[in-house]
Chain A
Amino acid sequence: MTPELKERIDNLVQQNKIMVFMKGTKLMPQCGFSNNVVQILNTLGVPFETIDVLDDSEIRNGIKEYSSWPTIPQVYINGEFVGGSDILIELYQKGELQQMVEVALAS
């Protein structure tokens, strides 16, 4: 990964308290896993930013290396990689995601 690409991803995850790398957009997710993540965050009613990796092959490949995580979507809260669809669902069901989000938005 080039230093420029790493800096670009660094900026995205640091400037947005909740940042989602996904396939498609909030309104039109292009994959069931990406849709899961959007629906959960919508249910929590919190502001979040998304980037469509289908529109940006550099990010699409770079983000997998950035987090050592092979799949999309990827969710970052307060600059930290939290997980993909399965982990988000689990954290939501346990009530832990709500806490993480509240802490992030209050900071």
Chain B
Amino acid sequence: MISPQQVEAMIKAELPDAQVQVQDLTGGGDHYQVTVVSSQFAGKGLVKQHQLVYGALQQAMSTEAIHALALKTYTPDNFKQTV
């Protein structure tokens, strides 16, 4: 179990420019939906983009503090198109 603030802080430690939205899907602190917008995703495929976020959360993922993580990643340009 981990707080949404911790999730956001871990991602920002790895991707300082990131805008992060964290949603706790069950209220249990272990099923999260996270949206990350970062310029560091530019030019990278989705697998690489998600790997960057998984890398930032590696400790929480491998200890299963986070059981489930639904992930959406965008570059700032891509994100503008979704709004």
- Interface, chain A (partner B; CB < 8 A): 32-33, 68-71, 81-87, 90-91
Contact = CB atoms under 8 A, between A and B. Distances in A.
Given A70-B54, A71-B69, A82 B47 contact: yes
Given A86-B71, A86-B72, A71 B61 contact: yes
Give the interface SS of chain B, mostly helix, strand, loop or mixed: helix
Interface in B38-73: 46-47, 50-51, 54, 58, 61-62, 68-72
Interface of B: 46-47, 50-51, 54, 58, 61-62, 68-72
A22 B68 CA distance: 14
B70 A86 contact: yes
B81 to A, nearest CB: 12
